[in-house]
Amino acid sequence: MQKQEFTITVYTENHIGLLNRIAIIFSRRKINIESMNTSPSEVPGIHRFTIVINETEEVVKKLVRQVEKQVEVLKAYYNNNEEIIWQELALYKVPTEIIAEEVKVERLLRQHGAKAVVIRKDYTVFEVAGQREETDKLIKVLEPYGLIEFVRSARVAIIKASRGFHEKLKEFEALKPGSGLVKNEYLNKQEEVFSM
């Protein structure tokens, strides 16, 4: 199996130390995290981790199962890039003098969808939202004009085929508690696949 880029989405309760425990799961398996973002989700009290790694699907499946074993983790998913809509935010700091003097630079910034965030006498900061290839292109364009600084955020992603975690959570909360155990058909099928 060949390595590819996967985005892991983890819905959790917001507890101290959880980020560290999740990071340890990756480091024990010697898996490098390319990008990690954590933020509140659409459900009050529930946080969402978005983690990007390059690995084989088999390793990612095992990793997601291990992450889900954490007490505060409600659900974890993994997706390839075709199954998600994702963006990153990039900031570029360039000398204001060049922007003011070089009409060509201003045109290039417009072509790349850059928006001025801060304009000072000594520097101007632009932002671009997009995928990695788009933000990398603008680095190459601005380097000859004195790019002072560059920073890119972690990935934020939405799963294309998802109805939303809050809908699944509502369904779960609507179930009346029963006296017996509830069999999880989906989980049992996954366990059969992993035991092969």
* Confidence at residue 171, expressed as pLDDT on a 0 to 100 scale: 67
Distance CA 164, CA 134 (A): 28
- Spatial contact of 127 and 117, defined as CB atoms under 8 Å apart: yes
Token pair 């060049």 is at which residue?
98
- What are the structural domains of the chain? 4-84+158-195 (3.30.70.260), 87-152 (3.30.70.1150)
> pTM for this one?
0.77
189 has a pLDDT exceeding 60: no
Summarised one tens digit per residue, pLDDT across range 15-54 is: 899 999 999 999 999 999 999 999 998 888 889 999 999 9
Summarised one tens digit per residue, pLDDT across range 131-186 is: 999 899 999 988 988 999 999 999 999 989 877 766 766 666 666 554 444 444 54
pLDDT, averaged across the chain: 85
pLDDT band, very low/low/confident/very high, at 3 (cuts 50, 70, 90): very high
- Spatial contact of 164 and 41, defined as CB atoms under 8 Å apart: no
- Spatial contact of 18 and 72, defined as CB atoms under 8 Å apart: yes
Phi, psi of 139 (to 5 degrees): -60, -50
**What residue ranges in the chain does DSSP mark as E strands?**
4-13, 33-40, 46-55, 73-80, 84-95, 115-119, 123-130, 149-152, 156-159
